[in-house]
Structure 1
Amino acid sequence: MSLETASEESVDPRERFKEELHKARELWPEGRLTQEQLARKLRISKTAVSRLERGEGAIPRGVPARLDEVFGTDGLFQRLHEAMLAQDFPARFQQRMALERTATEVWEWAPNVIPGAFQERGYAHSLIRAGMPSAPEVKIERLTSARVARREAFDRPSPPDVRLLLGESTLRLQPVAPDAMRRQLALLLRHVERATTSIRIVPWSAKPNLLMDYPISILRGAKGSQVVCVEQYRTASLLTDPDDVRNAVQAFVDLSGEARSAAESAALIRDQMERLK
Structure 2
Amino acid sequence: MTFQPRELFPDRSARDLFGAEIRRHREKADMSLRRLSEVLNYSKSHLARIEAAESLPYDDLPAKLDACFGSDGMFARIYALAKNEPFPGKFRRAIELEKRAVAITQYSCATIPGLLQTREVAQESLRIGNRHAPNAEIEAMVKARIDRQARVNGPQPPRCWFILDEAALRRAAGGPGVMRRQMASLIKCGTQSHVTLQVLPFSAGQHVEAGGSLTLYTLSDAPVMAYEESNRFGTIVEDRDAVAALQENYDLLRAMALSPRDSETLIRATMEDETSWEPPRI
Query: What TM bracket, shorter-length normalisation?
Result: 0.5 to 0.7
Q: Measure how far apart 1:155 and its partner are.
A: 2.4
Match of 1:170 among 159, 168, 171: 168
Matched, 1:100 2:102: no
Q: State how far apart, in whole Å, the 2-side matches of 1:232 and 1:192 are.
A: 25
- Partner deviation per Cα, 1:213-272 (whole Å, 9 max, x = no partner): 210100010135211101113211100001110000001001110110100001111111
Match of 1:210 among 208, 216, 225: 208
Match of 2:115 among 114, 117, 121: 117
Q: Which amino acid aligns with 2:258?
A: R
Q: How does 1:51-200 map to 2 (within 5 A)?
A: 87-200=85-198
Q: Measure how far apart 1:86 and its partner are.
A: 6.9
Change (3 A) 1:115 1:255: same
Q: Which runs of 5+ in 2 are unaligned?
A: 1-11, 15-58, 60-80, 276-282
- Give RMSD over aligned pairs: 2.2
Q: Measure how far apart 1:156 and its partner are.
A: 3.1
Q: How many residues of Structure 1 are paired with residues of Structure 2 in the alignment?
A: 199
Q: Measure how far apart 1:208 and its partner are.
A: 3.2
Aligned 8 A contact 1:191 1:197 in 2: yes
- Partner deviation per Cα, 1:150-209 (whole Å, 9 max, x = no partner): 101112321111110010111111121111111111111111110010000001122432
3-state DSSP class of the match of 2:112?
coil
Determine the structure 2 residue equivalent to 1:241. Answer: 239
Aligned 8 A contact 1:202 1:260 in 2: yes
Between Structure 1 and Structure 2, whose CA radius of gyration is higher? 2
TM-score normalised per structure 1: 0.67
Q: Which amino acid aligns with 2:110?
A: N
- Partner deviation per Cα, 1:127-163 (whole Å, 9 max, x = no partner): 1111122221111111111111110111232111111
Match of 1:254 among 247, 252, 255: 252
Aligned 8 A contact 1:86 1:97 in 2: no
Q: Which runs of 5+ in 1 are unaligned?
A: 1-7, 11-55, 57-82
Q: Percent identity of the aligned residues?
A: 26
Aligned 8 A contact 1:165 1:259 in 2: yes
TM-score normalised per structure 2: 0.66
List 4+ stretches of structure 1 deviating above 3 A.
Answer: 83-86
Q: Which amino acid aligns with 1:187?
A: S
